[in-house]
Chains A and B, each alone.
Chain A
Amino acid sequence: MNANDLYKSFDAIDDDTLLKSESRKKGGMSAARWISLAAAAIILGIGVFAIAHFAKQPDDNHYMLVPTPEPTQQVSPAPFETVRPTQDITETVPPTDPAVVTMHFSSERAALLSATHAMIRGESVEDIPLTPNGSGVYFGLDGGALVAYAEAELIEEPGNVRYELSSPVASFPYELGLRARRSVSDYIRRNLEPGFSGDDELQLFGFIGENYIIFTGEPFHGYQAAAIFCTPDGSQWTEFGAFEGHPAELTGGAVLSENEGYLCYFDRSLMRFEDYTPRRLTVYRTNDGGKTWEDIGLTIPEEFEGIIAPPAAALSPYFEGDHGIIPVMYSTFNSFTAGFDSHTAYFETNDGGESWVFRLPTVVSPA
């Protein structure tokens, strides 16, 4: 007997087992445990952070940011405007070695930022093909710094899966990366895999803002946990709040002050249920520094019933004073191509997030 025989034998698997494998599973763990899992890093990044060293404080959660004249690593700042908006999976690169498969990921952060800035000013936006969680960045601990990259290559070869990162957009203290890894790994141990020991190999993703980073790891069965760090005055990085028990994949977030923050989630697993409505978005808000989080109940108006198709997702909020927006990526079915087109809309608040109104921007075609 040989491998061909064994491969053929898999056609004897019963229908029930095959059908069960078609749907998204949550493994053998309780929903509550999955809910609190692994991580998505979201961000509204603006510009490039200055490279800095910092000294660890006695308190394990605090770091002192100490600017130095000579950075430990010169990271070429790539202004976000130069990052081309793309789908999150842009292409599968034909491998030269048939045993190696490569997938390319490109952050949509630049496109989202561009659209966000236009929408909050009431300007027209390009109808860009955003995806629910494609606006994050990929973190690497390289050359003495925590570096955020816009591009990632997932390389799969027998016995080895790894990421190769490129197009750096921002740099942060190295120690912050170690702390984030530990924090996300601890989260995985608490909530998903008690025996998890991959701290050193953990690939971090996330969302970056002017004074915060939301870290995450890869989703586990569609659920991600966040580890949020912020530096309100630019001198110390502190961990913001506790995030046990939030559902699904992170698609955005923001820390607005030492008390106020938002996290946006998207639950792909709901898409298999017939009563799933893509009009309902999942956005949590905290007003107590992340101790408690409340779903603010954003729902796209009823007139979109039957027009909006999954996926629809809330992306990273952006505020200028009390005026703020939460960009929304939504899809419609294209009967001509038998595929889905993605569009951009937003919820707007003029009272600091107490009430929200759904708006459609004026859309122009991409150049």
Chain B
Amino acid sequence: MTDERIIELYFSRDETAISETSLKYGAYCFSVANNILDNRDDSEECVNSTWFKAWNAMPPTRPNVLKLFLARITRSLAFTRYTERAALKRGGGQAALVLDELSECIGDGDAATEAELNELRKAVAAFVKTLPERERDVLVRRCFYTESIQSIAKRYGISGSGVMSALSRARKKLREYLMKEGFIDERK
């Protein structure tokens, strides 16, 4: 079934929308969640919650790309679950590695306010567009999809060390960008 047709099912409040979404994007959303959580049960729970959130969001929201709309919901749910687990010292999966890498870029301050987070979102979205294609793709796979180094290497047909060096360059640029934009104190 096409995405347009599935979205129409949501808008007409037809519950087959959920089964069709699950059929088409269940595995995709599961991989998004499982990259972060590395736990089958938790990931399945996030995917089920994704359908519920999507049902509540459409209408009025009409996604441009249904798959990415769902991925963002799943990613957010999975990361919330991840932080809850981390508080219980049950962290793991790729998310721990990605967060460790990102801490090089921004340090370890207090959590951002909602307003600060919105500004940071805009900055990250703008920054990503400044990167060369290869670094941009690798950074997106690592930091949005939380994919492993091997998975990224396999996707693009490059070596694991090639992925690591592209990520390292991208993170260095991100830190410089955030510093220039005033998100990081240069003295730190």
Contacts and interface: CB of A to CB of B under 8 A. Distances in A.
Interface of A: 1-15, 17-21, 24-25, 27-28, 98-99, 101, 103, 154, 156, 158-159, 161, 198, 201, 203, 217-223, 249, 268-269
Given A8-B117, A10-B144, A13-B140, A25 B102 contact: no
A220 to B, nearest CB: 6
B98 interface: yes
Contact of B100 (A158, A203, A249): A158
Contact of B97 (A8, A11, A28, A99): A99
B105 interface: yes
27 contacts: A1-B107, A1-B109, A1-B120, A2-B112, A5-B117, A6-B102, A7-B98, A10-B124, A12-B124, A14-B125, A15-B64, A18-B65, A18-B71, A19-B68, A21-B137, A25-B134, A25-B137, A25-B156, A28-B132, A98-B92, A99-B97, A101-B148, A156-B148, A156-B149, A161-B159, A161-B161, A219-B158
Contacts of A13: 124-125, 128, 140, 144
Contacts of B109: 1-2
Contacts of B79: 4, 7-8
Nearest to A28: B133
Contacts, number: 156
B117 A9 contact: yes
Interface SS majority for chain B: helix
Contact of B150 (A24, A98, A103): A103
Given A10-B144, A21-B141, A28 B134 contact: yes
Contacts of A268: 157
Contacts of A12: 121-122, 124-125
Interface SS majority for chain A: mixed
Contact of B164 (A8, A159, A219, A220): A159
Interface string B96-118: 11111111011111111000110
Interface string B131-153: 01110110011011100111001
A3 B99 contact: yes
B72 A25 contact: no
Given A13-B125, A98-B96, 13 more contacts: A1-B106, A2-B106, A2-B108, A5-B111, A5-B117, A6-B124, A7-B95, A10-B144, A12-B121, A21-B141, A101-B149, A201-B161, A220-B157
Contacts of A220: 157-159, 162
A269 B128 CA distance: 24
